[in-house]
């Protein structure tokens, strides 16, 4: 395997290369922090057909390290230092799991060789300085892993978007038209039920604040403007009113700002 770290990789191996079990080899060990489950990483990836050596995909990608999203990949990269170059062999099903295989369009038994340069890792949870709660906003209690529990007050639903900072980060400032990596929970204002949460998958998500690139979701209504100007490491609570046009109910979001792409 040749090629500058973080750039296009050139990979050759004897074919066919059988992939009966998931295997990992650290080709060069980085000096960064070890990767953790639940982190989102940026990586230079090359995906090759293990039978023919033909390249199936290559380029810079963002990936969640989650045993529930990509079980084999999450297991193989756990505790690998940022800055490492890693080779993984196995079948598509072993590496990406059932949901991942569907997104790639590959057969679960398809033999793969995957090389990854771990370019950087995003925060696993907001690490900013805690700020006092604001009157009229929901109360938030955090689990050790950072997952928020949210209690909506018995007051009328918000009539406009409102934002408060629960943790004040000191990282990069979020600007318009960027894509942010976040962990979030959304609850319905009317009954305090969870409407959606990235914590259910133990994996952060990407939200586009402007035009969404392919494969990236646009930030939910009301959250984009709240995120612009915040700093990485922050945790925000965003109150969003009901939308008569779409039928969306009033809700509250707790959002960890984990990185900017």
pLDDT digits (tens, 9 = 90+) for 143-201: 999 999 999 999 999 999 999 999 999 999 999 999 999 999 999 999 999 999 999 98
- pLDDT value for 235: 99
Give the pLDDT of residue 50. 93
State the DSSP code for 102.
H
65-94: burial string, b at 16+ Cβ within 10 Å, e else: bbbebbbbbbbbbeebebbbbbbbbbbbbb
CATH number of 23-121: 3.10.50.40
User: Do the domains spanning 23-121 and 129-260 agree at the CATH topology level?
Assistant: yes
The CATH code of the domain at 129-260 is 3.10.50.40
How far apart are alpha carbons 123 and 234 in whole angstroms? 11
Q: Which residue has the tokens 């109150």?
A: 239
pLDDT of 65 over the 90 cut: no
Q: List 88's β-bridge partners, or say none.
A: 24, 114
pTM beyond 0.75: yes
Cα-Cα-Cα-Cα dihedral sign, residues 213, 215, 221, 222 = negative
Which of the 8 DSSP states describes residue 35?
P
Q: Where are the domains of the chain?
A: 23-121, 129-260
Helix (H, G, I), strand (E, B) or coil at 158: coil
Residues 200-251 have pLDDT tens digits of: 988 899 999 999 888 899 999 999 999 999 999 999 999 999 998 888 999 9
State residue 46's pLDDT score. Answer: 93
Quote the strand ranges of the chain, DSSP E. 23-28, 40-49, 55-64, 85-91, 111-121, 129-130, 139-142, 148-151, 162-168, 179-188, 194-197, 205-208, 217-218, 235-240, 251-260
pLDDT score of 197: 98
Ranges of H-type helices in the chain:
71-77, 92-104, 223-227
- Say whether 115 sits in a helix, a strand or coil: strand
Q: For the chain, what's the residue count?
A: 261
Quote the CA–CA distance of 199 and 220 in Å, as a whole number. Answer: 17
Quickly state the pLDDT bin for 258 (edges 50, 70, 90).
very high
């Amino acid at each position: 395997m040749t090629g500058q770290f973080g750039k296009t990789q050139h990979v050759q191996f004897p074919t066919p290369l059988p992939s009966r079990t998931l295997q990992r080899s650290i080709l060069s060990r980085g000096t960064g922090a070890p990767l953790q489950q639940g982190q989102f990483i940026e990586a230079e990836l090359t995906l090759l057909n293990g039978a023919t050596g033909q390249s199936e995909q290559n380029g810079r990608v963002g990936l969640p390290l989650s045993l529930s999203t990509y079980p084999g990949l999450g297991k193989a990269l756990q505790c690998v230092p940022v800055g490492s170059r890693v080779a993984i062999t196995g079948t598509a099903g072993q590496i990406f799991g059932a949901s991942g295989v569907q997104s790639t369009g590959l057969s679960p038994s398809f033999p793969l060789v995957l090389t990854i340069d771990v370019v950087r890792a995003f925060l696993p949870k907001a690490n900013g300085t805690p700020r006092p709660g604001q009157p009229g906003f929901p109360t938030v209690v955090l689990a050790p892993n950072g997952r928020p529990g949210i209690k909506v007050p018995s007051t009328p639903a918000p009539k406009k978007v409102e934002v408060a900072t629960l943790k004040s980060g000191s990282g990069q400032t979020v600007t318009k038209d960027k894509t942010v990596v976040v962990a979030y929970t959304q609850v319905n204002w009317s009954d305090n039920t969870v409407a959606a949460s990235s914590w259910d998958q133990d994996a952060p998500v990407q939200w586009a604040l402007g035009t969404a690139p392919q494969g990236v979701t646009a930030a939910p209504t009301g959250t984009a403007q709240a995120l612009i100007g915040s700093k990485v490491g922050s945790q925000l609570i965003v109150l969003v009113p009901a939308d008569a046009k779409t039928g969306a109910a009033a809700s509250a979001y707790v959002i960890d700002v984990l990185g900017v792409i």
